[in-house]
Amino acid sequence: MLSREDNELLCRVGPGTPMGNVLRQYWVPAALSSELPEAEGSPLRVRLLGENLIAYRTASGAVGLMQSNCPHRGASLFYGRNEGEGLRCVYHGWKFDLGGRCVDMPSEPAETDFKRKVRATAYPCVERGGLVWAYLGPRETPPPMSELEATMLEKVSIQAYQRECNWIQALEGDIDTGHTVFLHLGGVEPDEVPAGTWAKYVLTQPAARYEVADTDFGVMYGACRRAEADTDYWRIANFLFPFYTMVPTGVLGLEIRMRAWIPMDDEHTMFITVTSGAGPAPRQAGRQVVSPPEVLPNTTDWYGRFRLTADARNDYLIDRKSQKTVSYTGIGSIHAQDQAVTESMGPIYDRRQEHLGTSDRMVIRTRKRLIDAAKALRDKGELPPGVDDPKVYAVRSGGVVLPRGADWIEATRELRRAWVKHPGLSRSVLGGVPAV
């Protein structure tokens, strides 16, 4: 559980909040590059860290991100004309460049220098890994970008889904490997999956032994279960400051993936996954077919991007018959299952009501690191982890079978490093069952 004060500190990310200031130390994914397909194309409404912003691609292909309300009298620049290297407000014609400078003010006499006194809030952007990254922080020169391997590859697949709840509530589901056995695989019997696979290990031993370790990028956990006579199966995964996760799906050493839980505001989250290789495809898990979620077409609304067809308004299209006979939840996709449970807590859960057990050790530690970082920045001006140290992000996660009694941290040091090739590593532990 958390006190009311710590819960507020953890969850609120608007301008000037302690956690908002932590998040603003880093480059953050603001949009997908594919959302701004053309030079001088339509501007895009972006809700990010509690701010209403407008993204646009200039004639030369650069991406700008600026405040929505025109500094003159507040008309939204979403309706602006995307012209050359700037965005022009259609109310009185003021034009702003990428840096937020007013470069044309046709409604004022030519001899006035008023336009030089007007500056809109505009944030620097760069594109990498199919994403538009923005820096909303205090520095004149932004820090280096985190060296997240998945965002530095040529061939990746990207998925984005909006979630209607607080970012940390959503993120906590991703560092909670214990729920996999119930929420996602609860309808699968151990004898429906092959021997020698991760699914067999987790289904026969729902309660794992959890170990947690602080790292220079955030927190890492290992969830241990017996594998064969003298081996254990470890699920190893990461939380990386300020809102990234690497889940234990796949094989440690081969899996290259990053997931970002980016607050749109305190009650809405944009979840972006970047994975090496092809995207997710339907697969069989026991009696259930696990498919990627269906999504609605994007709209131009502040909350119109990357929504699921199954949502709270239609009870996630739950099928009560299927819940008895096929799957544990009766909800169609893994992602919608996660979405249903985390959104059903309400927009921001009151964590005074919780009862945390041993399986929540990673959640407890991650919260503590984030709260400590927010207090250290607020009270002592100390920077949170990794801001000026992009190489600490060059890590991987995944599942691995180790000899019983092995030191899970030492034994996996090389497998957890990014950019290392392991051509001989076997995928047999996956056994064709989707790793979730």
Residues that bind ligand FES (CB under 6 A): 70, 72-75, 89, 91-94
CB of 268 to Fe ion, least distance (A): 19
- How far is it, in rounded angstroms, from Cα 346 to Cα 213? 30
CB of 108 to ligand FES, least distance (A): 10
Which position's Cβ is nearest Fe ion? 338
Which of ligand FES, Fe ion, none does 252 bind, CB closer than 5 to 8 A by kind? none
Residue 345 Cα distances to 291, 334, 353, angstroms: 24, 18, 11
Which of Fe ion, ligand FES, none does 92 bind, CB closer than 5 to 8 A by kind? ligand FES
# binding residues, Fe ion (CB under 5 A): 1
Instruction: Return the number of the residue (356 or 420) whose C-beta is nearest Fe ion.
Output: 356
Question: What is the Cβ-side half-sphere exposure of residue 333, based on CA atoms within 13 angstroms?
Answer: 17
What are the E-state strand segments in 129-243? 131-135, 156-163, 209-214, 218-226, 231-240
Instruction: Return the number of the residue (4 or 73) whose C-beta is nearest ligand FES.
Output: 73
307 Cα distance to chain centroid: 15
Instruction: Return the number of the residue (232 or 338) whose C-beta is nearest Fe ion.
Output: 338
**Coil, helix or strand for 415?**
coil
Using rule CB under 5 A, residue 172 touches Fe ion: no
| Stretch 390-409: interaction string toward Fe ion, x if CB under 5 A | --------------------
35 Cα distance to chain centroid: 17
Which of Fe ion, ligand FES, none does 70 bind, CB closer than 5 to 8 A by kind? ligand FES
Q: Are 108 and 115 in contact (CB under 8 A)?
A: yes
CB of 432 to ligand FES, least distance (A): 58
User: What tokens does 104 get?
Assistant: 């044309």
Using rule CB under 5 A, residue 338 touches Fe ion: yes
Is the bond preceding 297 in cis, omega lying within 30 degrees of 0?
A: no
Which of Fe ion, ligand FES, none does 338 bind, CB closer than 5 to 8 A by kind? Fe ion
- How far is it, in rounded angstroms, from Cα 217 to Cα 392? 6
CB of 66 to ligand FES, least distance (A): 12
Which of ligand FES, Fe ion, none does 265 bind, CB closer than 5 to 8 A by kind? none
Using rule CB under 5 A, residue 255 touches Fe ion: no
Instruction: Return the number of the residue (84 or 93) whose C-beta is nearest ligand FES.
Output: 93
- How far is it, in rounded angstroms, from Cα 91 to Cα 417? 53
Angle ∠(189,191,194) on CA atoms, nearest 5:
115
Which of Fe ion, ligand FES, none does 81 bind, CB closer than 5 to 8 A by kind? none
Please name the residue that has the structure tokens 């859960």.
349
- How far is it, in rounded angstroms, from Cα 145 to Cα 28? 9
- How far is it, in rounded angstroms, from Cα 376 to Cα 77? 37
- How far is it, in rounded angstroms, from Cα 408 to Cα 208? 14
CB of 236 to ligand FES, least distance (A): 52
Please identify, among the stretches 303-311, 317-325, 337-345, 358-366, the one whose residues bind Fe ion according to the rule CB under 5 A: 337-345
Which of Fe ion, ligand FES, none does 176 bind, CB closer than 5 to 8 A by kind? none
| Residue ranges in contact with Fe ion by CB under 5 A | 338
